[in-house]
Amino acid sequence: MRRMVGWLLVVAAAVAQGAGKDGVFCVTDFGAVPDGKTDNTAAIQKAIDAAAAAGGGTVRVAGGAFMTYTLYPRSNTRLEIEAGASLEGGPDPLLYPEFEPSPHWRVEYSLRRNKRAMFYAVAQTNIAICGRGTINGRAELFHEKTEGTHWWRRKHDQLITGRNIFLVGCKNVRLDDVTILNPSGWSMWLLDCEFVQVRGLKIEMDLRFPNGDGIHIGSCRDVTVSDCIVRSGDDALILRAYQHQLHGPVACERVVVANCVLQSNSAAIRIGWTHDYLIKDCRISNLVIRESHTGINIDMPDMKHVPDDPPRGEGVPPLPETVHPFGVENVHFSDINLECRNAPIRVRFSEDTKVSRIRNLTFSNMTIRSPEYPSFTLRPDDDVSDILLSNVRFEMQPGGKGAFNIKGLRRLTLDRVTFIH
């Protein structure tokens, strides 16, 4: 109660000073200082809370670099970072609060046991982060640089801002035009959200940042991603359907991705991961994929090679039994120009993956430049059929090995598929 009274007094004082005029709440009116070193967390959060208390409004960040720790977007608020302004992640990892237990998701299974973020919202409605400015996670503060092509070394997995933006169970979300730089983990994680628009984002990081995912969409519904440029150390675009991180299996469905440019030091596009559920009714089109390690991965790795996803071991409750198998239904890739160093298309399940189902998976109107062939490596019990490659041109590059690998498929249709050596 004492905290609530104090918060209301702060909001009332800000309004009395003229903050919030015409529905705009400038962070400098709440005491934020754009010098790149002052801790502005409390001031910016006061502006966000004041906008929410007023029934909604725009929180404006303008005129310089504002250092901050974790911020909590509220319902009916729009955070607008103007061109030339930036929000800079703070340097002390212990000042990013750990996530508290939540009825909306299982915090104990947070990936890599990391429970921190720069922006964190749970069960909020009508929120937006937009503008021509920058959100800088400052990953270089939490990593040790390495020479050549080696991954940068993390100083401590659990003491970093694992995500620049992490939204859980939110509805009517807009992420528009912002530049996201140097996340110390994932650029963004959308978990169990619905009615989401991601448009015009630019995500940029060193390709040697470990676990530096781009746009990570997990168990969401009705999501549109368009006109984005992503350059990521790990997977650039990820669709997943969680079972353990949520209180039961939740499908990822009705996702549309269009008109984006992707580059990744891992997979440009990843569909599914260990213990995932059902991903369906998704369309990915009009993409340029540049100089990536692999192209499109529908790949269930062996669990023993990924001990932190979901986390296991000391201090983590045992995983519930994975009852539901992984599945992909009605997922379509089209009009894609793809360049990669390894497998351009890979569908593969490890021995410890529950029997899986794939239906109506299509690849059409694609030009692919890679030294390797596509690969479909499945098991006899996998229920996989109706995979179509139509009007796909493979321009085989020097240095490749192997051949077009097809194992365990019940039906694969090739229509106007060309290999040029």
State which H helix or E strand residue 221 sits in: strand 221-226
pTM (global) more than 0.85: yes
- 327 located within any domain: yes
| Mean pLDDT estimate for the chain | 88
Is 125 a domain residue? Answer: yes
pLDDT band (50, 70, 90) for residue 308: low
The verdict on residue 30 lying in a domain is yes
When pLDDT is averaged across residues 312-318 and rounded to a whole number, the result is 66
Within a 10 A sphere around the Cβ of 413, how many other Cβ atoms? 12
Q: Residue 282 has what pLDDT? A: 98
Split at pLDDT 50, 70, 90, the class of 381 is confident
More confident residue, 348 or 120: 120
Residue 93 lies in a domain: yes
Task: Please check whether residue 243 lies inside any domain of the structure.
Answer: yes
Q: Is the pLDDT of residue 204 over 90?
A: yes
**Could you give the CA distance from residue 37 to residue 57 in angstroms, rounded to a whole number?**
27
Contacts of 9 (CB under 8 A, 6+ apart): none
Cα 144 to Cα 52, 147, 187, 239: the distances in Å are 39, 10, 19, 29
What pLDDT sits at residue 5?
Answer: 46
Q: Which residues pair with 343 in a beta bridge?
A: none
Identify whether 337 is part of a domain: yes
**pLDDT at res. 305:** 60
166 within a domain of the structure (yes/no): yes
In sequence order, the 6+-apart residues with CB closer than 8 A to the CB of 372 are 342, 343, 344, 400, 401, 402
Q: Please, is 215 exposed, middle or buried when counting C-beta atoms within 10 Å of its C-beta (0-12, 13-18, 19+)? A: buried
Contact at 8 Å (CB) between 192 and 222? no
Phi, psi of 397 (to 5 degrees): -95, 160
Whether residue 343 is predicted with pLDDT greater than 70 in this model: the reply is yes
User: What pLDDT shows up at residue 16?
Assistant: 44
Place 2 in a pLDDT band, splitting at 50, 70 and 90: very low
What does the pLDDT average to over 373-399? 90
Q: Per-residue confidence at 3, pLDDT binned at 50, 70, 90?
A: very low
pLDDT at 399: 83
Tally of domains within the chain: 1
Residue 315: pLDDT above 70?
no
- Nearest alpha carbon to residue 98 among 135, 57, 70: 70
Instruction: Work out the average pLDDT over 276-284.
Output: 96
CATH number of residue 116's parent domain: 2.160.20.10
Whether residue 402 is contained in a domain is answered as: yes
Q: Of 187, 206, 209, 207, nearest to 198 (Cα)?
A: 187
Q: Which residue has the higher pLDDT, 268 or 299?
A: 268
The answer to whether 278 and 252 are in contact (CB under 8 A) is yes
Domain extent at residue 336: 23-312+320-420
- Does the pLDDT value for residue 125 go beyond 90? yes
pLDDT at 150 over 90: no
